[in-house]
Structure 1
Amino acid sequence: MTWDEVNGVIVITLPDDFDKDANLGYLTREKNECMYAIENDVITKVIAIGEIRSLVQINVMNNKQMNVHFLNDSRPIEKWKREEVVNYIYEWFDLNNDLTSFFEMAKTDPLLKMPAQKFYGLRVIGIPDLFEALCWGVLGQQINLSFAYSLKRQFVEKYGDSVEWNGKKYWVFPSYEQIAQLTPTDLADIKMTVKKSEYIIGIANLMADGALSREQLMNMSFKDAEKSLLKIRGIGPWTANYVLMRCLRFQTAFPIDDVGLINSIKLIRNMDRKPTKDEIVELSCPWKNWESYATFYLWRVLY
């Protein structure tokens, strides 16, 4: 990590293959996002470190650096807590990852050539908090994206913390400790199925009991982490790979049955039918160790 502090502002040096427009373009694609706000290319978000709530504004300067300003007197006094804020931002934007070989591969790949050129500099935007990533995976199952965002907003605004600034609330995702104390009846007025309520409460209980954590999964091989996730009620192959990709940062994570991935391949290849799983396996051979990035760039074509 390369960062510094100048007059209370955190300055993060960005990798060469980072593009502000590509990343903000992704972050602003859904108007009903409740976990951050973007206005005039400035991101405002609460970053929670334990009980500490830091409200930050992030500004990208000339694709060279990120300036992180603390609002509302929320700058942590201890340096290690400020470092945790930096860690979160690195995780969120996958800043430790050198994408050179991905772009080299994508240049000649029939499917990735166009998206890699059009969205060059886009990172796989992460969800660093495991509980949030798992909840988002469960909420998004078998419904369209805009309805999933609506459910997330209902869930967050009912059970999450918020920090108010300039008359607006900025939200923190509910903690697993809090959700573990609920029953599906408590979630009844959020328009999700009873099964999804049960899955989310079950995940919260596993985390509260110490049976599931990001650290445990990160210390496993990809296959072992995938198996551990698949044992959890409500987590199938799609959700497991989504979490492995966006939270745990396994680059080989590949939600091969994803509808968006299938539709993107169909669109780019101008097919009059959906590609089969065997066809996708064959097309993805050159993506070895970059499956998560390939998937993310192909998703990006659709919106």
Structure 2
Amino acid sequence: MKMKSLRWSDDFMYQIILNHDRTYDGKFLTCVKSTGIYCLPSCPARKPLQKNIQFLPTEQAAIKAGFRICKRCRPDLFYRGENPDHTLFSEMLIRIRTNPDEIKSVTTMAKVCGISTTKLNELVRVHAHISPAELLCRERIHAASIALINANDRILDIGLSAGFDSEASFHRQFLCRMAMTPNAYRLLRESAKFSLKLPADYSAEDAWRYHLRDKNSLSERLEHQTLSRGLWVQGKPVLIHLTVDGGYAHCWWQDSDTLHQAGQLPAGVIIHQQVIRLLGLNTDISGFRSLTKSNKQVEKLLSPTRNIYIPLTATPFEALTWAIIGQQINLTFAASLRQALIELAGVEIPASDLKIHPTPLAISQLSPQQLSGIRFSRAKSEYLIAAAKAIVSGELNIDDLEFGSAIVAEKKLREIKGIGPWTARYTLMRGMGFADCVPVGDSGLHTALQQFYQLDKRPVAEEAERLMKPFIPFRTLATAYLWESLRKNHETES
């Protein structure tokens, strides 16, 4: 069979690759004789002299000629219809999680990925909404936390095995992310209580306000500054009590031997994970504040306001449920629908008059007629049941999405019927803790943007996206501050 010929001159194609022109990806390949690799025309790698390049029309022709794939532009993924950056980020995470001590620094990470540190910074920011250094730290602490629970090795050895360069560094960074020391974390194997060290500027006001959006809640209660609510632990409802006092958050619950089963995480570990979320303790306040030095819009947004820590729901599914319920209705009605759902499908918590938020399985077994009977619209009923069924079937692995790519997470969510940009991004914000989300379509956000920028009318979706760009890579926090500005204005007017 005669090989397909190219219709452009070598001079023309060489100019295309010098311009990194993506519109010619898939139309020809650049094969570098000196290195033996083949690249897409848009490949960011430094270009060799034209005399050292052979242009070929197809991937099959390049392979037949003895060339191998470029690890930077990944033409093999392009020809399979996969996004190279998505795959690169996923493969990088697998590499870090498999051998956390192998990657000693951000520079090493870039070399392992075959990209520049500039490209790495952008890749991690777009997909994880944090910096490469923060990603490394997060994954090292995760590896260390598993070892602390499952092994009896010295704490120093566990820290070194996870990639930390000293015991002091391990303790400092573990405390920062987990709000307790490694030794205290290890005690969660048996304990029925723990305390979390809070930032000096932390106030529980935002957390309590968020979790008690419904003043007559059946699932949460605040008495004497102690929040009581149920958490799912190994498939069982557990009533926890949480209070903030003297720079610490104290959590306790009724221990049960049934929660300690071989091969499963201890109750304390699971409850710790969810309490960190409920209090919003992984909010990067200092990173956002640092932008005030160079960003006038951030300075204007933050100057009149105290620091805000963004509370999350106990699980991603809770946030998704709330987002679907809250589509195109006001907060009061949404709260009443949520509680009606908990009354219908929630489970009573032992030794309490509270109920716990229903599981995906429980909601998947409801009929649209049952939800219509508690004032759900037909569309909301179908969307919520469809999402629950997708989770139960394994089509949507919602609990794992927060530890991967935000882009992939949003795409997966939006594949479910009835989940659009606002619902998906709200879930990413409040259910998964991604730091750079814009819930476009949110009425409160659009009103706050109008006031903040002193616009004549509320911005439409495209304009809201543009107006939020100055707050990259902290648009989730910026959204929280804009919502807070609305609340304060309302209180002033009242």
* TM-score under structure 1 length normalisation: 0.87
1:45 CA drift (Å): 1.0
When residues 126 and 75 of structure 1 are mapped into structure 2, their CA distance, relative to the original with a 3 A threshold, is farther
The yes-or-no answer on 1:148 pairing with 2:334 is: yes
Q: Which has the higher contact order (CA 8 A, sep 6+)?
A: 1
| Letter of the structure 2 residue corresponding to residue 301 of structure 1 | S
The yes-or-no answer on 1:189 pairing with 2:373 is: yes
Give per-residue Cα distances to partners, 1:176-202, cap 9 Å, x unaligned: 112222221222211011111111111
One of 114, 118, 134 as aligned partner of 2:320: 134
| Letter of the structure 1 residue corresponding to residue 249 of structure 2 | M
One of 280, 283, 291 as aligned partner of 1:105: 291
Secondary structure, counterpart of 1:31 in structure 2: coil
The yes-or-no answer on 1:2 pairing with 2:179 is: yes
2:249 paired residue number: 66
| Letter of the structure 1 residue corresponding to residue 415 of structure 2 | K
One of 133, 158, 177 as aligned partner of 2:344: 158
1:92 CA drift (Å): 2.0
1:20 paired residue number: 204
Contact in 2 for aligned 1:44/1:58 (Cα 8 Å): yes
CA distance in structure 1 between the aligned counterparts of 2:412 and 2:240, rounded to whole angstroms: 34
1:98 CA drift (Å): 3.3
The yes-or-no answer on 1:225 pairing with 2:409 is: yes
How many aligned residue pairs are there?
298
| Letter of the structure 2 residue corresponding to residue 2 of structure 1 | A
1:48 paired residue number: 232
1:75 CA drift (Å): 8.6
Give per-residue Cα distances to partners, 1:32-58, cap 9 Å, x unaligned: 444311123211111111233221211
When residues 29 and 230 of structure 1 are mapped into structure 2, their CA distance, relative to the original with a 3 A threshold, is closer
Q: Where does structure 1 differ by over 6 angstroms across 4 or more consecutive aligned residues?
A: none
1:77 CA drift (Å): 6.2
CA distance in structure 2 between the aligned counterparts of 1:80 and 1:151, rounded to whole angstroms: 33
Unaligned runs of 5+ in 2: 1-177, 488-494
2:110 paired residue number: none
Q: Which has the larger radius of gyration?
A: 2
| Letter of the structure 2 residue corresponding to residue 296 of structure 1 | A
Contact in 2 for aligned 1:103/1:116 (Cα 8 Å): no
1:149 CA drift (Å): 0.4
Contact in 2 for aligned 1:263/1:274 (Cα 8 Å): yes
One of 250, 274, 282 as aligned partner of 1:88: 274
Secondary structure, counterpart of 1:169 in structure 2: coil
Percentage of pairs with the same residue:
29
1:110 CA drift (Å): 3.8
1:80 CA drift (Å): 1.8
1:300 CA drift (Å): 2.2
Give per-residue Cα distances to partners, 1:209-253, cap 9 Å, x unaligned: 111122442354222211111111010000010001111221121
Contact in 2 for aligned 1:2/1:13 (Cα 8 Å): yes
| Letter of the structure 2 residue corresponding to residue 258 of structure 1 | D
The yes-or-no answer on 1:201 pairing with 2:389 is: no
Give per-residue Cα distances to partners, 1:85-122, cap 9 Å, x unaligned: 011101222313432011233586447745664342x2
1:250 paired residue number: 434
Deviates most, 103-112 or 263-272: 103-112
1:237 paired residue number: 421
Structure holding more strand per residue: 1
| Letter of the structure 2 residue corresponding to residue 133 of structure 1 | A
Structure holding more helix per residue: 2
CA RMSD of superposed structures (Å):
2.6
